[in-house]
Structure 1
Amino acid sequence: MDKNMSLGANKTVSIDSLLLWLCLLVGIVLRVGNPMDLSFINDELSTWSKVNYDSVAAVIENIKQVDSHPVGMYVFVYYWTLIFGTSEWAIKLPFLLMSIASLGLVYRLGSLWFSRTVGILVVAYFATLQFPIWWSHIARQYQSGLFCTLGMSYCWTQLLLEKRTEKRYWIGFVLMGAASMYNHYFSLIFVGILGLWGFAWVRKEILLKYIAAGVSMLLLFLPHLSITIYQLQNADGHLWYNIPTPSFFSKHIQYIFHYSNYCLALALLLLLGSILIYGRHTFNQNKKARWGSLFLFITPILFGYLYSVYKSPILRESHLLFSLPYLLFFWCSFFPKELSSRTKAVLVVLILFVNTLSLVLTRKHYDTVHTHPYEHFVKETKAFLATHKEKEVSIVLGENPAYLQYYKTAYETDFKHIESFKPSISFLELREILENSVTLYLIVGSIPEAHLQMAMEYYPYLYKKSYGINYEYYILSKEKQPDKNPWEFDYKALMDFEKLLQEGWTIDRSKTRKEANTADFYYQQDGEWGPVFEMELHKMTPRKNEFLDVAVDVRIVDSLLAAPKGTLTVELRNEQDSLVLWRGVDAVLQTTPRLGWQRLYLSLRFAHEPIYDNVKKLKIKAFYWNREKQATHLDRFSIRTRKGNALLYKDTNPFEFE
């Protein structure tokens, strides 16, 4: 009898080991991806630039002045790059290794807090979810913070749950806790939360040691305190962060589970099924660990949300990576320790299969993970210049020139380009460049939407375009190119004031005039209001993710040189005709005092607007607001829409399938 039980136990351990190694192997493969296709994102180039100093003291002072993170990760990367260099693989490698080690730590914590069954199910999820995979080789504070907080949690577990007394666990607890504090302020917050929760577990005989360990972490962080105080006093959050709405919580769960109905349905089925089938026996087991796991997940997100709403926006998906494992612990905690090997194997394979499939197909991870601007801009521009004379090409790039230089050096090229980065090139400066340009081609990347619309006026033919995360890149031409795809517009309307009966337009026919010399028609607007275009947006676009371009020619009727003072205006209204969005461009920003026609441009990217989710329920109203009542002529009033960048923010947002 005992022999049979022993054989059964050994068989279970063997299957558990097999499943664990399967999860680890899948996790490693998904994290490594294609090792020959690596590219730095903007934040990684920021890391590179911030450690590119002659001394660690200079690195620390720079971080204090210009960054809002602790200095720990930067100091680590500074010394790492001194030894291994600054290539993509060299900088990314330690983060990839930490992500692989994190897989093992997640399994160990799940096993120690609950059971080997829970540990295996959790690591199956952690191996295949995009959230931890995305950050697995990104040289930023998130993967390093995850590794440090998991290491701290492991030592904490050995001391409090396993009641181990070895010095190595006390030392590891203090050092990994301090490393977490030096890494990121959200990992610092996690240290505090875990430390406080520890008082629910700590035994009387080690209470003083536990308090001393916490004090030791604070003492180790003391040299950084002046930097933290300076950053708090001089920081107002990240102004480019949006203030989160209550929908952030549900969207965060959807993001974790790939915005996939299949992935989320499987997760809910496992949670509810385990409660219904096994909950009667497991609900009262490991209660402290179960609800503590939920506490460790919820507290950071609540803190970030409340601080962002009432103080200054700080909350991003990446900041919540440190607490992700604890949601998964809670999620799988109702499965019993004695789950049959067959059931366990089926569940693990199902999790691996569904998550990997949705990672590749729904999230398109390997199509997007390296679609970032800097390498792409340099590689594509170099390739184009290899087949075209440089004197025939003008280049305007709206990305950090120092970051572009990293890839110019890597690709051994040094093409010259016009910089349009913080601030973007002014509208009038770009107009002057375009008006005087004699080149056949224009390359533009990451420039404002209205700037692009103007560039399309001077270089009307599309040679090539490419979209990625946080960028658009275009090669435009003055001449039509054979075998090249033309611009694709979902909607185009052009009012030349000759054919007035066009859908959407309201025009006073009595105000139309004809040029004496050319017989071209135009509109004479002497009052505040003139021609109006109105239409429901669902007639103009089949999707939410869209560019809207509006433009009009203006001419001031004056014997003296005078600049237009009106505003090209777009209003978006809901079904009750209430105004939900107003955008206008003042003519003085895009024109100069001179005779003749000048063109105004207004562009919207719906993905940047608060009305994004309701685009198709709105209607547009476009007009020229002549608030100074200048004697003004209008011509070529155009409205058009074109497909937006489907990859723009898809690192954390869902794709809009069409």
Structure 2
Amino acid sequence: MDKISANSTFRISLKQEHVLLALILFVGACLRIVAAYSLSLSNDELSALTRARYDSFSSMIENGVFIDFHPAGIQSLIYYWIKIVGDHPFVFRLPFLFSGVLTVYLIYALGKKWFGSFTALFSAALFSTFQFSILYSVFARPYSPGLLFGLIAVYAWTILFFPEKITNLKRPNLFWWVIFTSSMIGCTHTHYFSFVFAGGLGLTGLFFIRKDLAKQYFVSGAIILIAFLPEWEIFQKQLGTGDIGGWLASPGVWYLPQFILHIFNDSKSLTAGILVLAVPGVVSLIRSGKWNKFHTIGLTWFLFSFLTAYLYSIFRHPVIQFSTLYFSFPFLLFILGSGIEFIVSTLNRSYTVVLLTLIIGCAHTVFSKELFSRSQFGVFKDIAIDIQKWEQEFGKGKVKTVINVINPEYINYYFRKLNYEPDVIQWKIEDRKQLQHFSMLLDSLSAPYFCFAWSNSGHPYEMIRMLREKYPVLLKKNAYYNSATYLFSEAGVSICEDPSTRIFYNVKSGSWEDRGAEDKDSVYFTLDSLHTFGPGYKKPLSDFGSTGYLLLTSRIDFKTDLQQMDASVVISFDSSSVPKEYHSLSLEECNLQPGRWQRAYFTRVIPNKVNPELILNSYLYNRGGHFIEFKNFEITIENWDDPYSN
């Protein structure tokens, strides 16, 4: 008869346990291999790849690390890795993929030492199959190696500090001191929040240190700090270019529940199912006295990482992201797994819970979250393929293209892989002057088709209205998460409807008319020192419906001899005549050709949760009292693609 696993509540033979572990590792490896091979490189991965393309290591540090906000470890690995094996996407991700698969095993190994077989297998099954852990296991970024280093350090720390957890120590203590110290060094050189985790681990050791370990522990700590000294100069340089955060939004009070929902595939039903079992189980653990020091340590490490990131984000600059908590969230899984074990341990063949977790997690990730068929982040490979396909289908010379990305090298990486050079006429349209130049460029084009693509980069929605005036037909589109491609044409059958609202201001009648014709050049109105407010349009937001992603555009032609002026187009959403949201466009930013008629566009997204009390209010405001001529005042409201839903 097979030996029973050493767990007082979970009855399973070692053979069954090893079969379950092998199945978990197999499923986890398969999901990660397919993801690493099939998914586009992300913006951050392409950024790291681009910043590694320098002839010398010192140039890479100066130009590729100082401008980043991560330690140099992973960027250094990438620098040498692509020189040795090349930059094929799958090969590029291999070290991170390997780290991710090994992490699944380490979660099991550590979980078994701390809590027993059920919690170990259950936590490994969760980590193996849910999208959050899969994606960050394969991204060529610091997350997978950082977590791997952290778990190795904790495993070695457990062997050194808690010999009662070791049944068969085959290695001398010196070996584990080397493993512990080198893994902690790895944490400090990988990511600043894997450094935070390592700091929490180091501080925890002070509460459990024995006299016979004190000397080795402090020597190890000194070695870790000395090994970080080369990073200190880099850290200071990075702080010199700005804070380590600041480009993110501040976290709300519900950030932690949102994170827990996210790690379980953003599924309320899956999250509720796990918490309904785990929370009563944890409470019962505490009441029964079975809550032990490892539960406390694991929960403390998770909360330490969370509170460090959260409080820094509140009181200094926002740095917290879900990925920030990647280095400590396995310990949250241990707590949940322990609670569930307490509830299900009395069931006959309770190991089937682990098997069901593996099956449900895998099925939900693949079929509900559509890991391999729906983009989970801004893509580049898919966009490059779309552009190549459309230019070849309609004729390269007949399709002009604009691509909005943070760095053209990111998308050019995939064009080089496709051995294709697109007909790009402009990159990265962000500010108002670039938008005005784009408007003038459109007027000069004779090509019958126009492709607009973007990924992971803000783009002015005014471009959509400009394009649809020149190319009114939307022939094709592919909307991904935080990225999209659109093909417009001068003629043909559009795949989407015209704007649901399109009205012009009739100067002669002084009223707004639905779908009217543009005024003749001779029909215009003026604003001056006696007339500072122009015509305005008001309408309850509830009249536009509450579904869809609605774009509101105010368009106006203007002419002035002045180069500087204080006049604007205003869009506000009011309640009881008080603006709840106020947006304005300075016409001075659009005034590139004084003395000539110029066209200004101003687009804003209508709040998607429509408050029936809010009133749309769009008007002209000539604060400076300048003499300005206006005509063709138009307002359009149209459905468009939500960039964060695909």
Match runs of 1:491-502 below 5 Å: 491-497=500-506
In 1, are the aligned partners of 2:572 and 2:583 still within 8 Å (CA)?
A: yes
The 8 Å contact of residues 23 and 127 in structure 1, kept in 2 or not, is answered as yes
Please give the per-residue CA displacement for 1:564-612, whole angstroms capped at 9, x wherever unaligned.
Answer: 85311111235x6542321111222224456675432111246xxxx66
SS in 2 for 1:150: helix
Q: How far does the alpha carbon of each residue in 1:271-327 deviate from its partner, in whole angstroms, 9 at most, with x for none? A: 13424666544xx23521112111111111211121122222222111110011011
1:172-571 correspondence runs (5 A): 172-275=179-282, 280-281=287-288, 284-334=289-339, 335-336=341-342, 339=345, 342-369=348-375, 372-399=378-405, 400-421=407-428, 426-446=434-454, 447-479=459-491, 481-482=492-493, 484-487=494-497, 489=499, 491-497=500-506, 527-543=531-547, 546-556=549-559, 566-571=567-572
Contact 1:107–1:120 at 8 Å: present in 2 too? yes
Change (3 A) 1:131 1:538: farther
How far the C-alpha of 1:130 sits from its partner, in A, is 1.7
Alpha-carbon separation, structure 1, partners of 2:155 and 2:573:
54
Is residue 573–residue 619 contact of structure 1 (8 Å, CA) maintained in 2?
Answer: yes
Shift of 1:126: 1.1
1:37 correspondence with 2:33: no
Question: Match of 2:620?
Answer: 624
Q: Do 1:513 and 1:522's aligned partners in 2 also have CA atoms closer than 8 Å? A: no
Q: Does 1:644 align with 2:641?
A: yes
Q: Is the 8 A contact 1:496 1:522 kept in 2?
A: no
Distance 1:435 1:271, change over 3 A: same
CA contact (8 A) 1:37 1:370 kept: no
Tell me the TM-score normalized by structure 1. Answer: 0.86
Is the CA contact (8 Å cut-off) linking 1:555 and 1:564 kept in structure 2?
Answer: no
Cα 1:68–1:487, aligned 2, differ >3 Å: closer, same or farther?
same
1:214-234 deviation digits (Å, cap 9, x = unpaired): 111112222222222222333
Pair 280,244 (structure 1): closer, same or farther in 2 beyond 3 Å: closer
How many aligned positions are there? 627
Relative to structure 1, is the Cα distance of residues 599 and 340 closer, same or farther in structure 2, using a 3 angstrom cutoff? same
Which runs of structure 2 are paired with 1:16-31 in the superposition (5 Å)?
16-31=17-32
In structure 2, distance between residues paired with 1:488 and 1:139? 42
* Structure 1: distance between partners of 2:475 and 2:378: 20
Change (3 A) 1:179 1:612: farther
Q: Which range moves more in the overlay, 272-281 or 93-102?
A: 272-281
Residue 66 of structure 2 aligns to a residue whose secondary structure is helix
Question: What CA distance in whole angstroms lies between the structure 2 residues aligned with 1:471 and 1:126?
Answer: 28
1:40-189 aligned within 5 A: 40-162=41-163, 165-189=172-196
CA deviation after TM superposition for structure 1 residue 162, in Å: 3.1
- Answer yes or no: is the 8 Å Cα contact 1:116–1:337 preserved in 2: no
Aligned partner of residue 38 in structure 2, secondary structure: coil
CA spacing shift, 1:337–1:197, aligned 2, 3 Å: farther
Instruction: Name the CA shift for 1:487/1:589 in 2 (closer, same or farther; >3 Å).
Output: farther
Greater alpha carbon shift after TM alignment, 217-226 vs 166-175: 217-226
Give the aligned residue type for 1:552.
R
Distance (Å, rounded) in 2 between the aligned partners of 1:10 and 1:633: 81
Q: Residue 635 of structure 1 is aligned with which of 625, 632, 637?
A: 632
Structure 1 residues 85 and 636, CA, compared in 2 at 3 Å: closer, same or farther?
A: same
Please, which moves more after superposition, 245-254 or 367-376? Answer: 367-376
Does the 8 Å contact 2:4/2:14 carry over to 1? no
Distance in 2 (CA, whole Å) between partners of 1:279 and 1:597 is 75
Partners of 1:19 and 1:612 lie apart in 2 by: 46
Amino acid at match of 1:429: H
SS in 1 for 2:534: coil
Q: Which residue of 2 aligns with 1:509?
A: none
Distance 1:210 1:534, change over 3 A: same
2:475 partner amino acid: Y
Q: In the TM superposition, what is the alpha-carbon distance from 1:73 to its structure 2 partner?
A: 0.6
Equivalent-residue separation in structure 1 for 2:245 and 2:446 (angstroms): 41
> Separation in 2 of the partners of 1:168 and 1:256?
35
Structure 1 residues 279 and 192: CA distance shift in structure 2, 3 A? closer
**Aligned counterparts of 2:255 and 2:5: Cα–Cα separation in 1:** 50
Q: Distance in 1 between matches of 2:429 and 2:598?
A: 26
Shift of 1:34: 5.5
Aligned to 1:508: none
Give, in whole Å, the separation in 2 of the partners of 1:393 and 1:643. 22
Q: Distance in 1 between matches of 2:345 and 2:616?
A: 59
Q: 1:644 to 1:131 in 2, by over 3 A?
A: same
What is the CA RMSD across the aligned residues, in angstroms? 3.4
- Change in CA separation of 1:461 and 1:116 when aligned onto 2, cut-off 3 Å: same
Q: 1: distance between equivalents of 2:409 and 2:103?
A: 33
Stretch moving more, 264-273 or 112-121: 264-273
Give 1:356's aligned amino acid: C
Q: Is the Cα contact below 8 Å between 2:553 and 2:602 reproduced in 1? A: yes
TM-score (norm: length of structure 2) = 0.88
Report SS of the residue matched to 1:237. Answer: coil
* Letter matched to residue 325 of structure 1: P
Distance in structure 2 (CA, Å) of the matches to 1:500 and 1:89: 63
Cα displacement (A) at 1:442: 1.4
Give the Cα–Cα distance (whole angstroms) in 2 for the partners of residues 225 and 2 of structure 1: 53
Report the Cα distance in structure 2 between the residues aligned to 1:458 and 1:139, rounded to whole angstroms: 41
- Deviates most, 85-94 or 252-261: 252-261
Unaligned 5+ runs, structure 2? none
Q: Say which SS state the counterpart of residue 637 (structure 1) adopts.
A: strand
Letter in 1 for 2:74: M
Measure, in 2, the Cα distance between the counterparts of 1:525 and 1:49.
Answer: 51
Instruction: Specify every segment of 5 or more residues in structure 1 that has no aligned partner in the other structure, as ranges.
Output: 506-511
